[in-house]
Amino acid sequence: MKMNTKAITLFSTLVFLAFFHLSLVSCRKIISHRGENGFTLDLIHRDSPLSPFYNPSNTPSKRLRNAFHRSFSRASFFKKSSFASANDTIQSDIEPIPGEYLMKISIGTPPVEIVAIADTGSDLTWTQCMPCANCFQQTTPIFDSKQSSTYKTVGCNAEECTSLGTSSCVRGNICEYQMSYGDQSQTIGDLAFDKFTFPSTSGNNVSIPNVVFGCGHDNSGTFNNYTSGIVGLGGGEVSIINQLDKQIKGKFSYCLIPIPLQSSISNATSHINFGDSATVSGPNVISTPLIKKEPSTFYYLNLKGISVGDKIVDFKSPNITSSAAGDDGLGNIIIDSGTTLTLLPSEFYSSLESTLVDSINATRWDDPSGTFGLCYESENGTIDAPKIVAHFTDADLELSPSTTFAEVEEGFVCLTIVPVEEVAIFGNLAQANFLIGYDLVANRVSFQPTDCTKY
């Protein structure tokens, strides 16, 4: 009897231990699965050989100049939007062409691939849709909502419709969006839900149902035929970032290849990461607060100043003030992947330029186009400049000499920081070769020096 009792006790113990072991294994699997809750996509620069915009006859300096000119068109959008009132149409003055990076995604069931401008300065994702009352020519097939079994329109009283701010009610109970652009271009269509499929670089596509987007049936103006719309990566409610909050937990990051390398290394491209894949960590990481301001679309940082060697130039501008009632005036510069140049208020820029002139021993050159204020002769595309550091709140970011002074013509380099009025933008040239992470939960932006051609 005692033997039987011992055997039963031993058996019970073994069963408990086995169950306990399986529970631990199961927990580890769940944790591991959650730890992989992220994905990475190609972020294609418009001048990359992978881009439909690519023109092999353009020289690197020509590509840079074209990108620089697009920066000024983009700045006008930020300038007008930053001073819009709460009742104004925030998106009303976007220039449709100046996007710098492209993304490929698929919409619907079965999935239809689109190529769209990836824009951290826009919220609503939209694409051209059949049937088209008026559409611009597009080289790829136009999305036909009738062919998608997962497509459904958004109702007029739905939160997604009322939060858009630029909508009306049509055909009974369908939410119609409308966006007019500064150059008389426009897109009008149905706000809708559908499944989005993201082509992860891991080879495993990520499908997410019921993503809100604009299905544009009336699109006209200066849109080009290489893209079909915009992927909104801004901070507003209807942006992809906030719509995927449950999946990506407010985290995304990107690693941008410098523009000259982008056009010469055909098999390399920039990347954008979402969720756990977007984590930026390590000993070289610095972080600065992400400042909440209106319009919520834009990502604001606080720039305290820029140092040239051991000389510090403090940020100053009589025109840049708080646009949100009751805030403390922080958030004086927008970080934006769609603007190439870094744009600073004129008074601040003048002090910075004077400090650079006093610190650089090289032959000045006058830019005949008048685009750049500070240029030098250069034999190898570089100059001997002192260390330049952007001092954000809690983060001192050393800027790369090769992107701070870029070769705009053979034998000549120019400062890629230029003066503007009323708005400041930290552009993508200054962001190149950093892994930059956005955490919209912790409200932080992190920077890690990275060779983005190998990332």
Domain at 240, CATH number: 2.40.70.10
Report if residue 113 sits inside a domain. Answer: yes
Report if residue 32 sits inside a domain. Answer: no
Report if residue 455 sits inside a domain. Answer: no
How many Å apart are CA 352 and CA 421, to the nearest integer?
Answer: 15
Structural domain ending residue among the three candidates 238, 263, 288: 263
The answer on 437 and 387 residing in a single domain is yes
pLDDT at 88: 36
DSSP H or E run through 395: strand 395-398
Report if residue 18 sits inside a domain. Answer: no
In sequence order, the 6+-apart residues with CB closer than 8 A to the CB of 442 are none
How many Å apart are CA 377 and CA 407, to the nearest integer?
Answer: 10
The answer on 291 and 427 residing in a single domain is yes
The answer on 333 and 254 residing in a single domain is no
Q: Strand pairing partners for 308? A: 311, 388
pLDDT at 165: 76
pLDDT at 242: 95
> What is this structure's pTM?
0.85
Taking only the tens of pLDDT, the chain with its 455 residues reads: 444 444 444 444 433 333 333 333 333 222 222 336 899 999 998 888 888 888 888 887 778 788 887 887 777 666 655 433 333 332 323 344 457 899 999 999 999 999 998 989 889 999 999 998 888 888 888 999 999 999 999 999 999 998 887 889 999 899 999 887 655 678 899 999 999 999 999 988 999 999 999 999 999 876 777 889 889 999 999 999 999 999 999 999 999 998 765 566 667 899 999 999 999 999 899 999 999 998 899 999 999 999 999 999 999 887 665 444 345 668 999 999 988 999 999 999 999 999 999 999 999 999 988 888 999 999 888 899 999 999 999 999 999 998 999 988 889 999 999 998 878 999 999 999 999 999 999 999 999 999 999 88
**CA-CA-CA-CA torsion for 191, 192, 198, 204, nearest 10 degrees?**
170
The answer on 395 and 286 residing in a single domain is yes
Asked if 184 contacts 96 with a C-beta cutoff of 8 angstroms, the reply is no
In sequence order, the 6+-apart residues with CB closer than 8 A to the CB of 163 are 237, 238
Q: What single letter denotes the amino acid at residue 226?
A: Y
The answer on 97 and 219 residing in a single domain is yes
Which domain does 187 fall in, by range? 38-82+92-263
CA angle at 348 for the pair 347 and 352, rounded to the nearest 5°? 120
Report if residue 192 sits inside a domain. Answer: yes
Name the residue among 93, 41, 21, 88 with its Cα closest to residue 423: 93
Beta strand extents in 248-302 (DSSP E only): 251-255, 270-275, 286-289, 300-301
The answer on 441 and 408 residing in a single domain is yes
The answer on 374 and 308 residing in a single domain is yes
Report if residue 377 sits inside a domain. Answer: yes
In sequence order, the 6+-apart residues with CB closer than 8 A to the CB of 140 are 113, 114, 115, 228
Structural domain ending residue among the three candidates 263, 290, 311: 263
Report if residue 286 sits inside a domain. Answer: yes
pLDDT at 263: 60
What is the total count of domains within the chain? 2
The answer on 333 and 215 residing in a single domain is no
Report if residue 110 sits inside a domain. Answer: yes
Residues recognised as catalytic: 119, 336
The answer on 297 and 201 residing in a single domain is no
How many Å apart are CA 120 and CA 276, to the nearest integer?
Answer: 20
Which residue shows structure tokens 């006058």?
366
Q: Residues, the chain, total? A: 455
DSSP 290: P
